[in-house]
Amino acid sequence: MANKRKDNKTVIYWLLTGCVLIFIMVVVGGITRLTHSGLSISNYKLISGTIPPMNDVEWQEAFNLYKQYPEYQKLNTHFTLQDFKAIYFWEWLHRVLGRFIGLVFFIPFLYFLIKKQLTTSTIKKAIVLLCLGGFQGFLGWYMVKSGLVDRPDVSHYRLAAHLTTAFITFAYTFWVALDLIFPDKKEIDKNFRNLVRFGLGVLLLQIIYGAFVAGLDAGWIHNHWPMMSEGKFMHETVYIEQTPIYKNFIEGKSGVQFVHRTLAYVVVFIVILIWYKCRKLMLTSYQIKGINALLIIVTVQFLLGVFTILLQVPVWLGVAHQVGAFLLLTAMTFTLHRFSR
């Protein structure tokens, strides 16, 4: 009777709630980036930072602190207090959500642990989740710190690490929930499973390059499709000119956008290949649903990417494109789980 109480539906709801909150966190993070709000709070206070400025004096103090850093001094000297409040909101909401997610994971975990509602396997997986969450919080501050020294922008490497860790944390949380939802597994075609694994790996690489594009503001150049036109950024022509040449594809705006575009075609090709090869297999209804979802979402996501480039990254479309990547990762994770032992 005791074993039936372990890994019950309440535990599954807890994990899925965490997935939803991470999704919301990523959306708010995307808005924060696209509205250039990420450097508005230049100090980190774990407890007191949860409460925003509550009166004119506190707002002025926060604004004065912002004025001491490169983003204001080099880009936003024209900002009024009202302008500052607008960008402060998104960064504050992003940080508060991070703290809330931490509590949502940690407090129920302690409760389930005390009540002995988790199996040993789930306890180990939950500890990994807590470590990922803590690491994600550290990466958030590490990223912000890079924009407070001498340049009014964060390191695109640190941004990619922060975003990718969020996606991985979500995927792992979802996987743990799926383990509990579908405890019984069957023998599967190993070659097909490896193809889906490869697709997941390429998708994660594409997510990293999406973060590179965001971090370098590379979406505001080459705003044509399917060809990449001559790029203009801040009234300067963008060329491939860095040496050694490989740096153009990890630090150059044109090169990074080129790789991101190319990987988009690769991801679409792999999903179509998965769909084509699965027709020769005997599939369950959930496997069919996963592959169909992959095909639909990758089509929508590809179109969102094209329009994001053509329209020069309006905030709503940039956020929609990031949501598309999130949903595509969800479908890929679900599909891989349904083809795993």
Confidence of residue 232 (pLDDT cuts 50, 70, 90): low
* 175 close to 333: Cβ distance less than 8 angstroms: yes
For the chain, give the percent of residues with pLDDT over 70.
93
- CA 148, distance to chain mean position in Å, is 22
* 336 close to 184: Cβ distance less than 8 angstroms: no
Confidence of residue 186 (pLDDT cuts 50, 70, 90): low
No. of helices (H) and no. of strands (E), the chain:
10, 2
* 82 close to 40: Cβ distance less than 8 angstroms: no
Residue 187 pLDDT > 80, yes or no? Answer: no
C-alpha 88/C-alpha 293 separation (Å) is 37
Q: How far is CA 65 from CA 41, 78, 84, 154, in A?
A: 8, 16, 11, 18
Q: How far is CA 182 from CA 172, 334, 337, in A?
A: 15, 11, 9
Give the three-class secondary structure for 80.
Answer: coil
Residue 288 pLDDT > 80, yes or no? Answer: yes
* 132 close to 165: Cβ distance less than 8 angstroms: yes
What pLDDT, on a 0 to 100 scale, did the predictor assign at position 190?
A: 87
The set of residues, in sequence order, having a beta carbon less than 8 Å from that of 294 and lying 6+ positions away, is 271, 274, 275, 328, 331, 332, 335
What pLDDT, on a 0 to 100 scale, did the predictor assign at position 45?
A: 79
* 256 close to 206: Cβ distance less than 8 angstroms: no
Digit-coded pLDDT (tens) for 236-278: 445 555 668 888 899 989 899 999 999 999 999 999 999 999 9
Residue 1 pLDDT > 60, yes or no? Answer: no
What pLDDT, on a 0 to 100 scale, did the predictor assign at position 274?
A: 96
What pLDDT, on a 0 to 100 scale, did the predictor assign at position 103?
A: 94
Q: If you search the block for the tokens 């390191």, which residue do you land on?
A: 155
Q: If you search the block for the tokens 């969102």, which residue do you land on?
A: 304
C-alpha 106/C-alpha 212 separation (Å) is 31
C-alpha 142/C-alpha 187 separation (Å) is 43
Backbone φ and ψ for 209, nearest 5 degrees, come out as -70, -30
C-alpha 78/C-alpha 80 separation (Å) is 7
Higher per-residue confidence, 38 vs 21 = 21
Confidence of residue 233 (pLDDT cuts 50, 70, 90): very low
Torsion of CA 101, 105, 110, 112, to 10 degrees: 140
Helix (H) or strand (E) holding 151: none
Mean residue pLDDT across the chain: 89
Residue 231 pLDDT > 70, yes or no? Answer: no
What pLDDT, on a 0 to 100 scale, did the predictor assign at position 8?
A: 86
Q: How far is CA 50 from CA 39, 100, 277, 340, in A?
A: 16, 10, 50, 41
Digit-coded pLDDT (tens) for 191-203: 899 999 999 999 9
Residue 31 pLDDT > 90, yes or no? Answer: yes
Digit-coded pLDDT (tens) for 157-185: 999 999 999 999 999 999 999 999 988 76
* 157 close to 176: Cβ distance less than 8 angstroms: no
Instruction: Measure the N-to-C terminal CA separation of the chain; round to a whole number of Å.
Output: 27
In degrees, to the nearest 5, what angle opens at C-alpha 269 toward C-alphas 264 and 270? 100
SS3 per-residue string spanning 210-252: HHHHHHCCHHHCCCCCCCCCCEEECCEEECCCCCCHHHHHCCC
The mean per-residue pLDDT over the stretch 136-154 comes to 87
What pLDDT, on a 0 to 100 scale, did the predictor assign at position 183?
A: 82
Residue 3 pLDDT > 50, yes or no? Answer: no
What pLDDT, on a 0 to 100 scale, did the predictor assign at position 244?
A: 80
* 209 close to 219: Cβ distance less than 8 angstroms: no
C-alpha 225/C-alpha 213 separation (Å) is 16
C-alpha 63/C-alpha 78 separation (Å) is 13
